[in-house]
Amino acid sequence: MRTAFVYSDEFARFDYGPEHPLKPFRLKLTHELIKACGLLAPSDQRLVEAPMASVDELLSYHTEDYIDTLKTVNSGKPAARAGAYGLGPGDNPIFAGVLDGSRLVAGASLRAASLIENGEVDIAFNISGGLHHAMASRASGFCYVNDAVLAIRWLVKQGKRVAYIDIDAHHGDGVQAAFYDTDRVLTISLHETGGALFPGTGFEDETGAGAGKGYSVNVPLPPESDDEVFLFAFNAVVPALVESFQPDIIVSQLGVDTFRGDPLAHLNYTTRGFCAAVQKIKKLAPKWLALGGGGYDVANVARAWTLAWATMNDVEVADEIPEDFLRHYGHAGFESGRLRDKPFTITGTKKDHMLKEAARVTDYIRKNLLPHD
């Protein structure tokens, strides 16, 4: 077993509410599509049950008062001062099992990290993970517990150098904040500019502090950027940064709210750009812990992460989605009947401006953050 898919049917049980854009059902949908495409049999050794993280494991990063508050609201009932921790109506609702669900996601990422560290696998994928906005003492952006930070901190404790690559539409601010002052972790986030999208951070001059100066890298891209703009920026900086840093392991956040039509962002990526980046990460990674992330069109999520899992296993999967899957889940937005998107490209002066901005940002990074002879 050289790859592991860390999963639990329990992921889909935790419900943010009918009006909330984050639908845990997308995780079950992804698992079902992966199985339907013949990429994971029910008895497959690569399928690893996600455990629930202990409270002590959460406290390796999160503050005790915050976790105590999550314990209090785990029943689904509001608590005094919950709002001070970012909990309540809006992005981070209080619902029954809010702490239990967070512990399960964190446990899955920690289990994935341990499988890699103990040599059982080279690649592990936790589609429920990548909750990159959560801060040490505050929920943010649909994220209550930062599983990426917990897994990276654990790996660093084992003596590993970690490069974190985040391709979600939203800046990975919580992960950046956790490692802003250390040279043991290189964080790279490619995202829609904070001038147009939550959380309003992630500009190219956010480059770290103290010992971490130069180890925080941000690539903000213009709204409406397409695959060509994304891959231009990715290829301009990510390989050189990773090769210079020489990590023992790459942790990646593979959010797909970057895709055309996603309701919460303004980018135009397709499976073409996404898969090209995933393939590049695989080539760069000595070991690889892959996490899910954003994605609010559930069909896009399932298609993209199925293709990512195929890449992790060096399998060329057929483009047509199996008919049996479509009979059960076609209503969830699989109108094309295919895993892969048609190409999409912006043209004209708008594209010229996008490429010029991407070149400006990547030039800044090359001049200020990449090593020079």
Write out the catalytic residue numbers.
133
Distance between CA atoms of 154 and 188, rounded to whole angstroms? Answer: 19
Q: How many residues can be counted in the chain?
A: 373
CB atoms within 10 A of CB 314: 9
3-state secondary structure of 313: coil
Residue with tokens 């399932």: 302
Distance between CA atoms of 64 and 60, rounded to whole angstroms? Answer: 10
Check: CB of residue 99 under 8 Å from CB of residue 57: no
Q: What are the residues facing 47 on neighbouring strands?
A: 5
DSSP helix, strand, coil percent of the chain (3-state; round to 5): 40, 15, 45
Check: CB of residue 61 under 8 Å from CB of residue 106: no
Distance of CA 109 to the CA centre of its chain: 11
Q: What are the residues facing 338 on neighbouring strands?
A: 320
Check: CB of residue 106 under 8 Å from CB of residue 53: yes
3-state secondary structure of 336: coil
3-state secondary structure of 24: coil
- Strands 249-253 and 216-221, sheet pairing: unpaired
CB atoms within 10 A of CB 37: 20
- By CB neighbour count within 10 A (0-12 exposed, 13-18 middle, 19+ buried), where does 77 fall? exposed
Distance of CA 296 to the CA centre of its chain: 13
